[in-house]
Every structure is written in C-alpha cells, then in structure tokens.
Amino acid sequence: MAGLHQRLESAGTVSRHRLPGNRKEVHLRLTEVGVEIQRAQRGLHEQVGSSVSAFLGRYSDADLEVLTRMLGDLLAMPREGLRFRPDLLP
C-alpha cells in the first residue's frame, strides 16, 4: 500500500504528515487538487445514480420484480464452461 501513497503524493493529490511524538504513523491529507478530484468523483457518482434511477423509474414495481427474478435465475443457472444449461435446472 505504501506504493499507492507514494503515487498519490507524487501526483500532488495527497500530502503526508506525522503527529508530534509519533514516528510510526503517517497521516495523509488531501491537497487542493485532491479535494477537487474528490468533488468531481462525487458529482459523477450522483449523476450516474440519478440517471439509473430515472431509467428504472420508467418501470413498475411488478416489472422490476420480474426482471430481478429473471436475472437471479440467470445467475443461478447451471453452466458448462460458458454455455448455459437450462436443462439441468431443478
């Protein structure tokens, strides 16, 4: 994990600091660039989440229940390699 810390510090997104009297622990703080990246990531996450919600809002609860059941069944379906084997369903 130290490699990641070093890369983030080299990129200017975090800065290291130590607490007085504590030589073991290294604390990281976001720099201004790091805070800006964090805000952008959160905004993107919210945007994607609201897009998915708007898309799913087109369907009734009953539609979504059927879709959920179908996807669950598909995940549970027996396979041989990449081939689905519905004939092996209980």
Domain CATH number, residue 12: 1.10.10.10
pLDDT attached to residue 2: 65
pTM here?
A: 0.55
User: With contact defined as beta carbons under 8 Å apart, do 40 and 48 qualify?
Assistant: no
In a domain, 61, yes or no: yes
Contact criterion met (CB below 8 Å) for 28 and 14: yes
In a domain, 33, yes or no: yes
- Give me the residue label for tokens 């952008």: 40
Structural element, H or E, at residue 33 = helix 32-56
**Does 7 reside within a domain?**
yes
d(CA 64, CA 73): 14
Tokens 């201004």: give the residue.
32
| Total domains present in the chain | 1
Instruction: State which residues form the domain around 17.
Output: 2-78
Can you give the pLDDT at residue 1? 56
In this prediction, the residues of the chain whose per-residue pLDDT falls under 50 are none
Q: What is the pLDDT of residue 81?
A: 86
